[in-house]
Amino acid sequence: MKIIRKILKSFLNFVMLTALVHIGVLVFTSIKNGNIKFLNYFQILGLTEFWPKITKGWVSDLISILIMVSIVSGFAIMSLRKKTVKVKNTELL
Protein backbone atom coordinates (compact mmCIF):
# COMPACT_ATOMS: atom_id res chain seq x y z
CA MET A 1 0.00 0.00 0.00
CA LYS A 2 2.87 2.34 0.82
CA ILE A 3 4.47 1.85 -2.61
CA ILE A 4 1.15 2.64 -4.36
CA ARG A 5 0.90 5.86 -2.37
CA LYS A 6 4.45 6.83 -3.39
CA ILE A 7 3.74 6.09 -7.05
CA LEU A 8 0.52 8.12 -6.92
CA LYS A 9 2.33 11.03 -5.25
CA SER A 10 5.06 10.88 -7.90
CA PHE A 11 2.44 10.93 -10.65
CA LEU A 12 0.66 13.92 -9.07
CA ASN A 13 3.98 15.76 -8.77
CA PHE A 14 4.63 15.03 -12.45
CA VAL A 15 1.23 16.44 -13.41
CA MET A 16 1.85 19.56 -11.30
CA LEU A 17 5.28 20.14 -12.85
CA THR A 18 3.88 19.66 -16.35
CA ALA A 19 1.06 22.13 -15.61
CA LEU A 20 3.54 24.70 -14.30
CA VAL A 21 5.69 24.33 -17.43
CA HIS A 22 2.57 24.69 -19.59
CA ILE A 23 1.54 27.88 -17.78
CA GLY A 24 5.11 29.18 -18.10
CA VAL A 25 5.05 28.60 -21.86
CA LEU A 26 1.70 30.39 -22.13
CA VAL A 27 2.97 33.37 -20.11
CA PHE A 28 6.07 33.55 -22.34
CA THR A 29 3.94 33.28 -25.49
CA SER A 30 1.57 35.95 -24.19
CA ILE A 31 4.45 38.35 -23.50
CA LYS A 32 6.20 37.54 -26.78
CA ASN A 33 3.08 38.13 -28.87
CA GLY A 34 1.71 40.94 -26.73
CA ASN A 35 -1.64 39.16 -26.51
CA ILE A 36 -3.06 38.31 -23.10
CA LYS A 37 -5.64 36.04 -24.76
CA PHE A 38 -3.10 33.20 -24.49
CA LEU A 39 -3.80 33.19 -20.73
CA ASN A 40 -7.55 32.73 -21.09
CA TYR A 41 -8.44 29.73 -18.90
CA PHE A 42 -10.42 28.09 -21.68
CA GLN A 43 -7.40 28.40 -23.97
CA ILE A 44 -5.20 26.84 -21.27
CA LEU A 45 -7.55 23.86 -20.95
CA GLY A 46 -7.59 23.37 -24.70
CA LEU A 47 -11.35 23.69 -24.91
CA THR A 48 -10.94 25.59 -28.18
CA GLU A 49 -10.43 22.20 -29.84
CA PHE A 50 -14.02 21.27 -29.01
CA TRP A 51 -15.62 24.73 -28.87
CA PRO A 52 -13.64 27.09 -31.16
CA LYS A 53 -15.50 30.27 -30.16
CA ILE A 54 -15.19 29.80 -26.37
CA THR A 55 -12.28 32.25 -26.07
CA LYS A 56 -13.92 35.01 -28.10
CA GLY A 57 -15.28 38.14 -26.47
CA TRP A 58 -15.04 39.94 -23.15
CA VAL A 59 -17.56 37.64 -21.44
CA SER A 60 -15.19 34.71 -21.96
CA ASP A 61 -12.32 36.74 -20.48
CA LEU A 62 -14.42 37.72 -17.45
CA ILE A 63 -15.59 34.16 -16.81
CA SER A 64 -12.03 32.92 -17.27
CA ILE A 65 -10.70 35.36 -14.66
CA LEU A 66 -13.50 34.52 -12.23
CA ILE A 67 -12.83 30.78 -12.56
CA MET A 68 -9.08 31.23 -12.02
CA VAL A 69 -9.61 33.49 -8.98
CA SER A 70 -12.12 31.01 -7.54
CA ILE A 71 -9.74 28.08 -7.93
CA VAL A 72 -6.78 29.94 -6.41
CA SER A 73 -8.97 31.22 -3.56
CA GLY A 74 -10.29 27.73 -2.89
CA PHE A 75 -6.80 26.27 -2.65
CA ALA A 76 -5.66 29.17 -0.46
CA ILE A 77 -8.60 28.69 1.93
CA MET A 78 -7.97 24.94 2.13
CA SER A 79 -4.29 25.56 2.82
CA LEU A 80 -5.03 28.15 5.51
CA ARG A 81 -7.55 25.85 7.19
CA LYS A 82 -5.01 23.03 7.38
CA LYS A 83 -2.47 25.36 8.99
CA THR A 84 -5.07 26.67 11.44
CA VAL A 85 -6.02 23.14 12.47
CA LYS A 86 -2.34 22.24 12.98
CA VAL A 87 -1.80 25.34 15.14
CA LYS A 88 -4.91 24.57 17.24
CA ASN A 89 -3.76 20.97 17.71
CA THR A 90 -0.31 22.01 18.90
CA GLU A 91 -1.83 24.59 21.28
CA LEU A 92 -3.83 21.83 22.94
CA LEU A 93 -0.65 19.90 23.74
Over the stretch 11-35, which tens digit does the pLDDT of each residue have? 888 888 888 888 888 889 889 999 8
What residue type is assigned to position 43 of the chain?
Q
As a 3-state breakdown, the chain gives helix, strand, coil percent values, each rounded to 5, of 85, 0, 15
Q: What is the pLDDT of residue 47?
A: 74
| Sequence ranges of the domains in the chain | 2-92
For residue range 39-51, what is the model confidence (pLDDT) as tens digits? 777 776 777 778 7
